[in-house]
Structure 1
Amino acid sequence: MNIHNLSESNSILNSFIAEIRDVSIQQDRMRFRRNIERIGEVLGYEMSKTLEFKTKNIKTPLGEKPTDIYQNDIVLCSILRAGVPLHNGLLNYFDDAENAFISAYRHHKHDPETFEIVVEYLACPDLSGKTLILADPMLATGQSMVATFEALKPFGTPKEIHLVSVIGAQAGVDFVNSHFDDDSHLWIATIDEQLNDKGYIIPGLGDAGDLAFGKKLQQ
């Protein structure tokens, strides 16, 4: 897998990451969602540099201009619910993409420190020969990303696969790296070193879904 860690180079992205981590700022849900969206835009822009382009003559009121336009048929798949702001950021740049949505969540059978990933809802177009973008803001253990990809396999074989995340743990990065082909890509804003006993990223930022949309009742 090709891993693109954007935090290795300083950019305005650092400011967006700092704000979603900062407990004094992240309580503003609208700003939290907007920062995740902006991070998605940055990640999408960087990812676009690897797509296939073809020259097209664009007619203007005063003439024509040859311009390189990307040719990929993109399917953007996000994991509900935390993935929605990241999805919106990517969709701002790939506005003609087809869209897929999947619910994948941690189900704790016996104790808070062990869980399995449960997929209950999936809406997806045909993936055959297309560019698949899998978006999940938090890449903690990596199990949700892998479970999502397994659930998508009946919908066809993509031509190429791009994973997009905001914050990941090194363990999660290593996990997806071992489960996806060498020619797939991971685009991630920053990587933290640790997971705690419950499988949450340290220092991370907390629960991205709760910060974006409010706390949920536990079942």
Structure 2
Amino acid sequence: MIINLSETNSLVGEWLSEIRSRDVQQDRMRFRRNMERLGEVAAYEISKTLEYEEKEVTTPMGIATCRVLKSQPVLATILRAGLALHQGVLHYFDKSDHAFISAYRKHNHDGSFDISLEYVSTPSIEGQVLIVSDPMLATGASLVKTIEHLAEIGKPSHIHLVVAIACTVGIEYVLRNITAPITIWAGDIDDELTAKGYIVPGLGDAGDLAFGNKLQQ
């Protein structure tokens, strides 16, 4: 399932206009906060799909019956670009365990690239709902490799993929290669992908915009 959060009128459009703007996005704090906001909205929408149970709590005046999550989802993100979006999801699922993955494009001399996955720290995800945050779903290669690696450790019951901008090519690649039940929550969806694997119009390099330029190795 694919949910484009921009298809209905909401503040998501306002935040995306600032995230995409080459002028406004130079304010790193605003850029990170807008990413967090997208994560918060996605987390709230995801929360509607989860399983709940009734719990009695004691108030100063008596007993109230509340509906609470049966179990907490596991939150995962790809370092470093996904941290701000992940933080927004964390604001809502603040009791969750976390998984962190280092995956990046290792560029070759001919302009092509391979996905390098060097670090994984994760709790058990067996039978758990897994929420993966990554700001850009371009080719889909890094996300598929990340999810496949996590699936070797444990098989989640459902995967929710939270992205700020997705490309139709990347969406199709993910859906073809991930066999587990998956829902993609996208702030917006763009159709064009360059030969080098960048989304157009996209927003640029989310990691650099959030945390500064990195040395290329």
Tell me which interval the TM-score lies in, with the shorter structure as reference length.
Answer: over 0.9
SS at structure 2 position matched to 1:97: coil
SS at structure 1 position matched to 2:66: strand
Paired residues for 1:13-162 under 5 Å: 13-112=12-111, 114-162=112-160
Conserved 8 A contact 1:32-1:211: yes
Conserved 8 A contact 2:50-2:69: yes
SS at structure 2 position matched to 1:36: helix
Give 5+ residue unaligned stretches, structure 1.
Answer: none
Root-mean-square deviation (Å): 1.1
SS at structure 1 position matched to 2:81: coil
1:51-79 superposed Cα distances (whole Å, 9 cap, x missing partner)? 00111122211112211111133111100
Conserved 8 A contact 1:125-1:155: no
Give how far 1:159 is off: 1.6
> Which amino acid in 1 is paired with 2:128?
K
Supply the distance in 2 between the matched residues of 1:129 and 1:183 (Cα, whole angstroms): 12
SS at structure 2 position matched to 1:16: helix
User: Equivalent residue for 1:4?
Assistant: 3
How many residues matched? 217
SS at structure 2 position matched to 1:118: strand
SS at structure 2 position matched to 1:77: strand
Supply the distance in 2 between the matched residues of 1:47 and 1:196 (Cα, whole angstroms): 31
Matched, 1:190 2:196: no
Give how far 1:87 is off: 0.8
Give how far 1:121 is off: 0.6
Give 5+ residue unaligned stretches, structure 2.
Answer: none
Give how far 1:154 is off: 2.8
> Which amino acid in 2 is paired with 1:162?
H
Conserved 8 A contact 2:78-2:100: yes
Supply the distance in 2 between the matched residues of 1:130 and 1:160 (Cα, whole angstroms): 7
Supply the distance in 1 between the matched residues of 2:195 and 2:159 (Cα, whole angstroms): 30
TM-score (norm 2): 0.97
SS at structure 2 position matched to 1:141: coil
Conserved 8 A contact 1:141-1:171: yes
Supply the distance in 2 between the matched residues of 1:183 and 1:79 (Cα, whole angstroms): 20
SS at structure 2 position matched to 1:175: helix
1:182-201 superposed Cα distances (whole Å, 9 cap, x missing partner)? 73211111101101121101
Supply the distance in 1 between the matched residues of 2:26 and 2:213 (Cα, whole angstroms): 12
